[in-house]
Amino acid sequence: MIKFFAECEPAEGIRVELLRGEIVMSRSPDLVHNRNVTEMADQIPSERWSRLQTQCVDMLDEVSAPVPDLVVYERGTGPDRGALMPAGVVTMLVEVVSGISVHRDYGVKRSTYAAARVTAYLIIDPVMAHCVLLTEPTGRGEDADYRCQRLTKYGDVTPLEPLGIGLDTTRFGTYPNVRPHRYP
């Protein structure tokens, strides 16, 4: 399934992910989303960390190949070529919530990333104007989760201990006129 998915060529403007055996398609992100990803990536020191946007990640035992908004891994640990980044080399995955991705980002991806033992998962939420850092993955399959959860409001510094930095969120954008949700 992963091999078939890796060879799939979506239409321009369509993003395709494999999440627990289900192919999920969504439209390209908007400007608020993309600016938040860029603001985040620009704060991660490139001397130590590689930062890739929309890189497909092989979740190994999971039948999943998500395409996070940002993949962060230590320089020199990832492959030099190929379509899939092995989850085992990833230090942090980042997702920016949209109006249609809330359940996937807070639910399916949270447990999928934890099951693959991704050290840290950061959710940037322009709907609720906060960030959620999840660390210490535990469990297996759909029951996997992160033991630690830290929520910080936009404007506050979000400590990203796995990367050794504090994330300044003062320039992160929000979505106007979007109905709030109940996550995390």
- Please indicate, yes or no, if residue 139 is contained in any of the structural domains: yes
- Please indicate, yes or no, if residue 130 is contained in any of the structural domains: yes
Could you tell me which of 124, 105, 129, 153 has the C-alpha nearest to residue 37?
Answer: 124
Whole-number pLDDT of residue 33: 92
**Is the Cβ–Cβ distance between 113 and 39 less than 8 Å?**
no
Whole-number pLDDT of residue 112: 94
Residue numbers in the chain where pLDDT is lower than 50: none
Whether this prediction's pTM lies above 0.85 is answered by yes
- Please indicate, yes or no, if residue 152 is contained in any of the structural domains: yes
- Please indicate, yes or no, if residue 147 is contained in any of the structural domains: yes
In terms of residue numbers, what domain contains 20?
2-168
- Please indicate, yes or no, if residue 180 is contained in any of the structural domains: no
Number of structural domains the chain divides into: 1
Whole-number pLDDT of residue 59: 85
- Please indicate, yes or no, if residue 177 is contained in any of the structural domains: no
Instruction: Name the DSSP letter for residue 176.
Output: T
Whole-number pLDDT of residue 21: 66
Whole-number pLDDT of residue 29: 76
- Please indicate, yes or no, if residue 174 is contained in any of the structural domains: no
Task: Give the separation between CA 124 and CA 132, rounded to whole angstroms.
Answer: 7
Q: If you search the block for the tokens 């946007």, which residue do you land on?
A: 53
Q: What is the CATH number of the domain that holds 100?
A: 3.90.1570.10
- Please indicate, yes or no, if residue 16 is contained in any of the structural domains: yes
User: For residue 12, what are the contacts with CB-CB under 8 A and spacing of at least 6?
Assistant: none
Whole-number pLDDT of residue 17: 66
**Residue 44: Cβ within 10 Å count:** 19
CA distances from 160 to 8, 51, 75, 176, 179 (A): 34, 15, 17, 27, 28
Task: Give the separation between CA 151 and CA 180, rounded to whole angstroms.
Answer: 16
**Is the Cβ–Cβ distance between 70 and 94 less than 8 Å?**
yes
Whole-number pLDDT of residue 7: 58
Task: Give the separation between CA 111 and CA 66, rounded to whole angstroms.
Answer: 12
Whole-number pLDDT of residue 100: 84
